[in-house]
Amino acid sequence: MKDVPPVGGLCYCPCLPGMEVPHYPFLRATLARAASLFAACLVVSCATSGDSPQASFPDRGLPTVADSSMERVVVQAYRAIGDRHLYEPNFRNLSSEAYRSFASGDPSLALETSDGAFTVRRDGKDVITRTTPADPADGRAWGGMLAELMAGSLDASPALQASDRQALIRQAITSTTKQLDRNSRYADPDEARDNRFQRDGGGGIGITVERTDDKKILIRAVQDGSPSAKAGVQVGDQILAIDGESMVDRPLSDVVHKLRGSVGAPVNMTVLRASQGAELTLAMKRSRIIPTTVVYERRGDAALIHLMGFNSATTENLRTAIDKAKAEIGKDLSGLIIDMRSNRGGLLDQAQTVSEVFVGDGTIFSTLGRHPDSRRTYKSSTGRSKANDLPIVVLMNGGSASAAEIVAAALQDRGRAVVVGTTSYGKGTVQTVVRLANEGELILTWSRLQAPSGYTWNELGVLPNICTAKVGDAGKLGAASMETSHGQLMRWHALRNPTSQEVSDLRKICPPGETSPEADVEIAGRLLRDRVLYAQAVQAGTQQAAAAR
């Protein structure tokens, strides 16, 4: 498959190419690739910022996506970095690299720096000089200086005047975020709108589409209860036109943007239904669509719940899935298998509320950063638990990150689940999303995560209780493997600030894998059926957690 976003839910940013999609046969033709794209764009746990776009200055030259000046966006971004980033930044270095990226389209421009001033020259002649702020950590002052250098350069450079303003903003801010850490980044207005849709939903019709090798746009999933389902849209339909405008040979992004719109607004979609050999024009009204992140599947006496991301509807849909499993399997329900393999994360508050579904009173995780608001302990209360009495196995792999790691670490530390699979990705930081004046987003790392026992998995990852890279056969599980697991977990959680070499050595204990073998599910099923083995695995996790406190 190629480029398969959820429509009325496009996440058109395959920012982690090559990520393996879990091999769930019943999901492959519908949700798997869509889930991969959704997850790739939400590689951060987001604590949404209260910043909103301000009234804008007139921009120079070409019109932009939003009527806001480049200078305003830069100042806003630098102020946010100075106030919120996990580490105190050095804006002297950030600003010089940002300017050089911004001006890269005009080789005649050069930046010269000294202790007291930054000077821009064009063909050897001075264009603009500005005194550098005294404090290298003053984001507001350095952002203002950088904005003035950029404005002066625009006035002097025909090449920059002919450039798209959004591209210039992207070059400058992307260069800045690359110097901060591996998870901070800039999303331009188009990507940011898609990110917001994935987090919070929006007006759409509730389908997932695929662009095939022969450039056809095919429907690969229809969301239950959505406008498309009510209108009779079927999996396999080929989209020919939207509101009378041909979509043949159009980019996938064009198709998705045409289908999205205001809630309640009408849209007509013409499809070719191969099974009938007929073209059909289907009328519908857009409704609020939130991409699917939870899918329930019965596996004998166990409930297998695929948790593919964390958006604003995840916890509610998880509770519904558990209710469905209890109703369908009844008193024979042996437990839950929560499959978070290749789940790249999502919203921080959803990581908390998902954890609360499974754990009673006590700490779920804590955060620690430079900004006072980033220092918090997140706790659960018994009244919110929905599965407090059910055995749980969590499946993880090297693609499991962020919010997925929060849930796995909390359940492992608290003795509420056995984690099975391979070492996770190791994204133990929280990002705050700052909405910029051009409708883009600055995704900014602002705190580190800690498990209930106090260890942080950033760079390190969450180590499973049972490593399927070493034990790939359910029949080979036994007490000996539990003892080995216990010792490894003790070593893993003992380090509070591991060096790069220690991280590398520890991750070799259970190398992170990107695949999602059926054997993982089989091992999880055996653990749920064999309560002695399950208890031994849980005990190994809780003992190391207690020792680490």
DSSP 546: H
Distance CA 417, CA 396 (A): 12
pLDDT for the residue 360: 83
Q: Are 156 and 122 in contact (CB under 8 A)?
A: yes
Distance CA 226, CA 235 (A): 14
Choose which CATH entry (2.30.42.10, 1.10.1200.10, 3.30.1330.60, 1.20.1560.10) describes domain 6-41+202-289: 2.30.42.10
Tokens representing residue 256 in the block: 């998705």
pLDDT for the residue 177: 97
In this predicted model, which residue has the larger pLDDT, 475 or 390?
390
Tokens representing residue 437 in the block: 């004046």
pLDDT of residue 45 exceeding 50, the answer is: no
Residue 542's pLDDT band, with cuts at 50, 70 and 90, is: low
402 an active-site residue?
A: yes
- A 10 A CB-CB count for 127 gives 19
pLDDT for the residue 50: 34
Q: Using one digit for the tens of pLDDT, what is the confidence trace for 69-125?
A: 889 999 999 999 999 999 999 999 999 999 999 999 999 999 999 999 999 999 999
Please tell me whether residue 270 adopts helix, strand or coil conformation: strand
Phi, psi of 148 (to 5 degrees): -70, -40
pLDDT of residue 41 exceeding 70, the answer is: no
pLDDT for the residue 484: 54
C-alpha distances in Å from residue 277, one per residue of 221, 245, 303 = 20, 21, 40
Percent share of the chain, pLDDT over 90? 63
Q: Using one digit for the tens of pLDDT, what is the confidence trace for 365-408?
A: 999 999 999 999 999 876 556 676 899 999 999 999 999 999 99
Options 106, 413, 447, 453, the catalytic residue? 413
**Stretch 409-427: mean pLDDT:** 94
The architecture in CATH of the region 294-548 reads Alpha-Beta Complex (3.90)
Options 402, 447, 481, 516, the catalytic residue? 402
**Stretch 229-246: mean pLDDT:** 95
6-41+202-289 and 294-548 share one fold: no
pLDDT for the residue 475: 65
Percent share of the chain, pLDDT over 70? 82
Q: Are 191 and 13 in contact (CB under 8 A)?
A: yes
In this predicted model, which residue has the larger pLDDT, 482 or 528?
528
Domain boundaries, given as residue ranges, for the chain: 6-41+202-289, 88-179, 294-548
What kind and span of H or E run contains 205? none
The whole-model pTM stands at 0.77
324 an active-site residue?
A: no
What residue spans of 14-164 are helical by DSSP H?
A: 25-28, 32-41, 70-84, 91-102, 139-156, 158-161
Q: Are 357 and 387 in contact (CB under 8 A)?
A: yes
Options 153, 157, 287, 427, the catalytic residue? 427
Q: Are 521 and 529 in contact (CB under 8 A)?
A: no
